[in-house]
Amino acid sequence: MKNRDVWLYTGVWAIIALFYLYPYFATFATIGYSDIPPLFDSDLYLYMNFSLLPISPEGTITSPWYGDTINAAAWAYRKFDLSFIVFRAISTLCGGDLTLTMIVWTLFWVSVIFVAALWLFREIAGRERRFLIVFGLLFLFLMRVPELSSIVKMWLSLPTIDEKIVVNLTFSRAFFPQASVVFLFLYIYFLIKVLKESKFSLWAVLAVVQFLALKTFPYLLMILAFATFLAIVFVFFTQREKLKISHVLFYALLCGVLDLGYLILTGQTESAGMKTAIIDVDFSRLKYFFKGSMILAIILTAAIAFLKPKSSYESKIAVLSLGLSYIAMTLSHAFFSPALQIENHIYYFASAIFAIEIFYLLAQIDSYLTVSEKIKKAVGYAAIIFILIEGALASQSHYKRYYAENSINYEVYNELKKIGCDKDTLIITPTFVPSLISPISFALKCKAEILYHPDAHFLSSKERGKDPHKIRQAIYYYLMGKDEEWIRDVWDPKTDWRVQYDLVIPALRLYLRDKNRERFLREKEEEMEFYYKTYVEDEGALHKFFGKYKKIVVVDFKKDPFFKEDRLDSVMKMRSKEQTDRMNFYVMEPR
């Protein structure tokens, strides 16, 4: 790469990095620096806790939220833990400062993704088309294509940004897809290379990249594997002389050794979802997928298929196969159990795949255009300016969207530090929308357990009739003032599924709307009634649960409190009360 190219792309990287770091520094400027990093997308605290979990010499993991232990070998996230390993390494380099770790982490992944995307775009468009490549990189990082409707609404709301309009930067969601999308770009880059010139060494690199994708996020491997299959089929029927069967067999064998060998060595894992067959055909699910993003995927992929390339045919095959694979994997959810969450996890890569397809189409259209370079540059500059403004607005929107949540979470955490959150302490906070509190984040710095959070089920033993997560869920509902009549009402098939949505873990939510709905709701009702009768209505069991703790801290809103005083008084007694502007903190002990 020439020196001027290095300076050009370094400048583009710096602009992108600035947009991604702005929400952090804007948060620090308004609510201060904390040893718990601010949240800017879903599941951050969940994955940070996963990254920092120690494994005992006996091979067990202790839940940082509930204190119970599970077999580490059966925990699926341990099998696909490359991103967690990277996070631990960065945390160690940052001296355990988790907020600094997240800043370095963000810079690291922005940089790695940038380099991988730069390689791919230079391969697709040619190294001399710098202007187009710069636009492609800015578009990739700053324009989340599936959120196009929200982007339009944001522009229409100017000069102020409506906080109800959520516009995210493409790779703002930490860990997944942030840490896995780099392998998407690398894989398509090497797939183009290997289609141009079949070599054992290139096929070997391709096999290693797909293994790293598996090690990071197995759903990405589904996209890559099917895209490779399609690419090989296309080349076999159109340019068979370029395809060396021995090389393809070598690649397949190496992938099998790496992937299957790794999966066998790491053992069987447990599912967090309902125990159902993997194959579960229900074509009614397709109606949820034919929405804007799927229609866009079909249009882009069809355009690539019918547009005759003026440059690399191999690039067309690779990008077309990627688009078709994304569509096929999304629609495959009609054939597999909703507990696998295929459509949800495949969607993580929608924006990156759309950006690759759009970039390829722009490169081909640019080759066909006969207008002067001046007109091309004028249009290009206008497009780049638009993308930069969009990036600035998205970055600001990102900060404002999470300001309230970060503000109240900091307020609660700082007060808990003053009160003390030691090992024998139980913290009880509201957990559902619109509580804005993230109690699972406290475990990053506190040794106290929490009563309940929906995400804590990932590290809860699944012993039938004694599942700690379901026991705590029943107690949590009791403290909220719920009873058996509420349980029957909330799981009634006549109840709107949107009411039940937050009461169900993500892996099971599609059951609220498919052919399994009535059976699923009946099972949930029976299950919750059992735990409520066994661990709540039995006063001995209820007092035994709270008797494990020396101190109980109940956090609740001053306005519209979640918990009922009479229910709290039935199992614990007041020691002291602290207050902040918005919250009450009841320091209690078991009765």
- Summarize pLDDT for 185-225 with one digit per residue, the tens: 999 999 999 999 889 999 999 999 999 999 999 999 999 99
In a domain, 396, yes or no: no
Residue 507 above 80 pLDDT?
no
> What digits encode the pLDDT tens for the residues 247-306?
999 999 999 999 999 988 877 665 544 455 677 777 776 766 677 788 899 999 999 999
Above pLDDT 70, what percent of the chain? 95
Identify whether 260 is part of a domain: no
Task: Characterize the bridge pairing of strands 425-428 and 449-450.
Answer: parallel
- Helix 313-331 and helix 292-306: axis angle, to 10°? 150
Helix (H) or strand (E) holding 235, with range, is helix 218-238
In a domain, 181, yes or no: no
Nearest Cα neighbor of 296 from 147, 120, 510, 142 is 147
Domain carrying residue 529: 414-590
Residue 279 gets which letter from DSSP?
A: B
Q: Region 57-85: what's the mean pLDDT?
A: 87
Residue 204 domain-assigned? Answer: no
**pTM for this predicted structure:** 0.91
The pLDDT score that the predictor gives to residue 176 is: 87
What pLDDT shows up at residue 472? 93
SS3 for 214-232 is HHHCHHHHHHHHHHHHHHH
Give domain status of residue 279, yes or no.
no
Q: Tell me the C-alpha distance between 63 and 59, whole Å.
A: 13
* pLDDT value of residue 340: 73
Asked if the structure places residue 65 within a domain, the reply is no
Average pLDDT for 127-141: 93
Is 510 a residue whose pLDDT tops 50?
yes
Total number of domains constituting the chain = 1
Collect contacts of 329-332 with beta carbons under 8 A, ≥24 apart.
Answer: 329/222, 329/223, 329/226, 330/289, 330/294, 330/297, 331/286, 331/289
Give the residue-averaged pLDDT of 540-559. 90
| pLDDT score, position 221 | 94
The residue among 452 and 421 whose pLDDT is bigger is 452
* Cβ-Cβ contacts under 8 Å for 50 (sequence gap 6 or more): 77, 81, 84, 458
User: What is the predicted pLDDT for the residue at 55?
Assistant: 87
Average pLDDT estimate for 353-363: 95
Residue 476 lies in a domain: yes
The whole-number pLDDT of residue 274 equals 46
pLDDT tens by residue, 439-449: 889 889 888 99
pLDDT surpasses 80 at 163: no
pLDDT band per the 50, 70, 90 thresholds, residue 585: very high
Q: Is the pLDDT of residue 584 over 70?
A: yes
pLDDT number for residue 193: 94
| CA pair distance 84, 180, nearest whole angstrom | 12
- Tell me how far apart the alpha carbons of residues 248 and 259 are, in angstroms, rounded to a whole number: 16
- Say what the pLDDT of residue 77 is: 85
Is residue 488 a part of any domain in this protein? yes
What is the model's pLDDT at position 435? 61
For the chain, the residue count is 591
Averaged confidence pLDDT in the chain: 88
